[in-house]
Structure 1
């Protein structure tokens, strides 16, 4: 319907129909068939288009068709834009002529659609080259087909250990399209030191490369059961019983495969071949993108995860990889519409983040700055110390000074004798926060799941004097959460 209502198309008297309803007589020799369609399931057509390919095969003058296809899809599915790609191939086979190159759009469709409409206007006005020059196709990446992104920048954001880091990764030429609020998934490689120790335990040097991309940290109960059987470990079998759930969770917290082998498996009870049969490929690790829409790069904000256990220094699987390895880094992106800004710029936004939870929030602010968007925007940011932990502090102050941020409120918990958190900042600015929410503000919250959500929910309800505010925000789709 949006296409048919475009003012620039009205002189051509557009007719909007479902694909199933289109007949050969509906498309004259000087007409253009403009197809906007999604794909479903395994690249199948939607219900209102499923009969069209077979009907098209019977059209007498199908070779005379002029057409343009705008495909809608989701890169999370294996056959992304499968129907529109197949339809384009079939029309080409019939000898029909595309007046604009086919578009493969992910759920981040607005920018593509606007560009496509502008190109369509040029083509209909006689500029045929504009249609040939347009190339708008998202490339579908995933666990089985990741993009290798080179490292462009890696710098510390904080002075205190464990440090927060800013990274910029090169996605130029990838065809990846993202926007602020989206998520990048990293497919990491395991720590070299851990791999060497595993190879020594197994007595197999080749295990270093064989296990480099296997999941060694998030070990499933199924894998543990198999290891218990192979090692004939009654202790591990007992730990896997339902009544021992909490004990198992406590043991596995911060543990890796080498711990399990050392603690429960006699030497030579488990072979490399056993492990290769049991261990999946490294599970993707999700990170919020910390940048505005760019075609050539994306930014991340990550915390170095490092701790001691059993006489060994451990690092996070993904963060250790990101902060030690020179790259490239295997990744793919997924849209996260639940964390996008509301389209109506009259609606205020309240951004609340702690630590590296600033990542998606700085991305949203950068997007507003890049697009010249102005709306009432308040950020409440929490960390330990201003002089050591004010992540992106200079940039946030500048965004506040230039009006992208209406108000910047900080809560540094260790800068005074009494600890001061974001919930205390909400309480101290209760009138301003309450006014925002009364004006329909959307709330964006990002940080540690264990401590943040309940504290902020309680503080907002107290500030507004509304007992069920949190649930109301959820029901009105005004609450956007990224908790980890």
Structure 2
């Protein structure tokens, strides 16, 4: 939105300056700025009403700058924000909340759950928890230790604590927002009082997160007003505007249309897989990223699937339907670009059951049929739902209202910004499968494999992942474990280390099916080995040997040297499949610690936990 001179109190020069500045600000900077201006007005008002002698008042303000302290602040309860974040969303929300609370004068402590000293929990006054749920209802890695403590016999009674929980999740998973639900229930069991009801968010979390934030802020402001007799506390935090303005106007809610420069098939002829290497231009976006970050892509559904749905229901493709903030758009455009049509979830099935009298759908949703429902949803999409439970008593407009917004797909960035400014590289494994009588494919991976050509554009944004970062010391050794497309971020790691001329040792464990067809980025690894950027490379090609060999087997074979590297300060990184690979790799690490370190199983687990707390065991698994 551009300011205009005619509808603003600013002159032409001021409007021009504001229009240059505002698009560059992040949300936290805008929030801070609005809070700062509000605080400034409060000071002026206080000066005019309370202190007739403005010279003395100005002197007081100068003496307390940059921190303005109200005598009533001692009556304000301290707020503790704890976040459990796997990909960075919860951390970003927590930081924004801290900024808002600080602007209102609250004293705030912000911490990742694994950095929080649990012995101080009984001293907490107001506790705000923002957490994701990972995998099958598990806490994120950086929430594990706090989660286990809270659910142990060591957890203290919390009768004097007020709390609220914001839970992030994905409704396509069975245990939606389970970690947030667990925290909410356990805090209540320990005697804590709910400050504001828990809110559970799906992948499109912005509106619900904002609703929870507003509700929490209103409750806290009401409590503050009671504690201070109606007076307002004014505090001034250090400004985020003090750093150079390198922010982009593009974000998750305002994606950039990136031009596709290259789209190559990395897999050799005869491979059972298709892995694509995409290079996108970020020129003109002002988007930057660090190794370990991901790129979000908002995909389009397959046109054939969209047309089959419309034909099945005999709808008019040009009929206007409502899409939340976009207003009315043609039905075909809505199904193609805005709505999720390839995944079935329990909430969707429940909503759909009200639009048909088909008894079989209602039976699937009956108590005790959870396994049958789960089995039905696996591998099916909206077209299956419409065909299996016809006839439907609904219009197109009514039916699309039950569909959720199509979520972005995140891919680990496979390049270094320092090495390739204004470009971003991705490694995307194409998902194809046959189920329930039809050939199917991944929404985004299928689009990139079949319908995206150089010159086309994709809607993208940078998704920061502060929990997957290279060591700050370029001399520190690193061990990278990334089979398949999980190797993508390690290409970025080594590009970055090469650019910085880092001297730290590096060791890569890579695995896939066949050496001849599936050795992703083989030329890059061999060049870096020759030049010394990569110190060691161990590979496992599971289908090239009679007995399947995976990366965890190579780790066990090199257990003595691997443990020595860790003892010397190496950081461990794991990227790729969560269900099998990540668990197998972790089991291998525990075995190595026991064998080479002479530890008991319990001591090995504690050792791994300590590595995680030191940020020396980081995972990006999915």
Counterpart of 2:558 (choices 406, 423, 429) is: 429
Partner of 1:96 in structure 2? Answer: none
Asked if structure 1 preserves the Cα contact closer than 8 Å seen for 2:32 and 2:240, the reply is: no
1:215 aligns with 2:340: yes
1:476 aligns with 2:622: no
- In the TM superposition, 1:24-103 aligns within 5 A as 40=28, 43-44=31-32, 51=39
CA–CA distance in structure 2, aligned partners of residues 44 and 253 of structure 1: 45
Note closer, same or farther for the CA distance 1:277–1:78 as it changes in structure 2 (3 Å cut): farther
1:351 aligns with 2:480: yes
Partner of 1:94 in structure 2? Answer: none
- In the TM superposition, 1:288-307 aligns within 5 A as 288-293=412-417, 294-307=420-433
Asked if structure 2 preserves the Cα contact closer than 8 Å seen for 1:292 and 1:363, the reply is: yes
Note closer, same or farther for the CA distance 1:53–1:151 as it changes in structure 2 (3 Å cut): farther
Note closer, same or farther for the CA distance 1:464–1:454 as it changes in structure 2 (3 Å cut): same
Asked if structure 2 preserves the Cα contact closer than 8 Å seen for 1:228 and 1:234, the reply is: no
1:170 aligns with 2:308: no
- In the TM superposition, 1:215-254 aligns within 5 A as 215-254=340-379
CA–CA distance in structure 1, aligned partners of residues 393 and 36 of structure 2: 59
Asked if structure 2 preserves the Cα contact closer than 8 Å seen for 1:189 and 1:321, the reply is: yes
Unaligned runs of 5+ in 2: 1-24, 48-53, 59-88, 104-238, 318-330
Residue 348 (structure 1) shift: 1.4
TM-score by length of 1: 0.73
Structure 1 residues 80-125: Cα deviation after superposition (integer angstroms, max 9, x where no partner)? 89x99xx9xxxxxxxxxxxxxx9969xxxxxxx6xx5xxxxxxxxx
Asked if structure 2 preserves the Cα contact closer than 8 Å seen for 1:39 and 1:46, the reply is: no
Partner of 1:136 in structure 2? Answer: 246
Structure 1 residues 208-229: Cα deviation after superposition (integer angstroms, max 9, x where no partner)? 3231121112333222112112
Partner of 1:256 in structure 2? Answer: 381
CA–CA distance in structure 1, aligned partners of residues 33 and 560 of structure 2: 52
Partner of 1:309 in structure 2? Answer: 435
CA–CA distance in structure 2, aligned partners of residues 155 and 40 of structure 1: 38
CA–CA distance in structure 2, aligned partners of residues 430 and 49 of structure 1: 59
- In the TM superposition, 1:457-472 aligns within 5 A as 457-465=586-594, 466=599, 467=601, 468=605, 469-472=607-610
Partner of 1:368 in structure 2? Answer: 497
Partner of 2:263 in structure 1? Answer: 154
TM-score by length of 2: 0.58
Structure 1 residues 142-196: Cα deviation after superposition (integer angstroms, max 9, x where no partner)? 23x2111111100011121321110011111012111111011111110011011
Residue 324 (structure 1) shift: 2.2
CA–CA distance in structure 2, aligned partners of residues 46 and 208 of structure 1: 41
Structure 1 residues 386-432: Cα deviation after superposition (integer angstroms, max 9, x where no partner)? 11100001101111111111111111111111111111101111111
1:330 aligns with 2:453: no
Q: Please, which moves more after superposition, 171-180 or 38-47?
A: 38-47
Partner of 1:195 in structure 2? Answer: 306
Residue 78 (structure 1) shift: 13
CA–CA distance in structure 1, aligned partners of residues 621 and 487 of structure 2: 11
Note closer, same or farther for the CA distance 1:217–1:39 as it changes in structure 2 (3 Å cut): closer
Note closer, same or farther for the CA distance 1:47–1:202 as it changes in structure 2 (3 Å cut): closer
1:377 aligns with 2:506: yes
CA–CA distance in structure 2, aligned partners of residues 54 and 401 of structure 1: 64
Partner of 1:417 in structure 2? Answer: 546
Asked if structure 2 preserves the Cα contact closer than 8 Å seen for 1:352 and 1:445, the reply is: yes
Asked if structure 1 preserves the Cα contact closer than 8 Å seen for 2:29 and 2:240, the reply is: no
CA–CA distance in structure 1, aligned partners of residues 506 and 457 of structure 2: 36
Counterpart secondary structure, 1:278:
coil
CA–CA distance in structure 2, aligned partners of residues 223 and 418 of structure 1: 44
Counterpart secondary structure, 2:336:
coil
Structure 1 residues 300-327: Cα deviation after superposition (integer angstroms, max 9, x where no partner)? 1011111112332111011112222233
Counterpart secondary structure, 2:511:
strand
Residue 40 (structure 1) shift: 5.0
CA–CA distance in structure 1, aligned partners of residues 505 and 365 of structure 2: 52
CA–CA distance in structure 1, aligned partners of residues 527 and 492 of structure 2: 15
Asked if structure 2 preserves the Cα contact closer than 8 Å seen for 1:198 and 1:208, the reply is: no
RMSD: 3.3
CA–CA distance in structure 2, aligned partners of residues 78 and 342 of structure 1: 24
CA–CA distance in structure 2, aligned partners of residues 316 and 333 of structure 1: 21
Partner of 1:120 in structure 2? Answer: none
CA–CA distance in structure 2, aligned partners of residues 56 and 412 of structure 1: 71
CA–CA distance in structure 1, aligned partners of residues 340 and 26 of structure 2: 35
Asked if structure 1 preserves the Cα contact closer than 8 Å seen for 2:26 and 2:247, the reply is: no
Structure 1 residues 11-47: Cα deviation after superposition (integer angstroms, max 9, x where no partner)? xxxxxxxxxxxxxxxxxxxxxxxxxx99759713699
1:183 aligns with 2:294: yes
Counterpart secondary structure, 1:360:
helix
Residue 240 (structure 1) shift: 2.4
CA–CA distance in structure 1, aligned partners of residues 42 and 345 of structure 2: 47
Residue 345 (structure 1) shift: 2.6
1:392 aligns with 2:521: yes
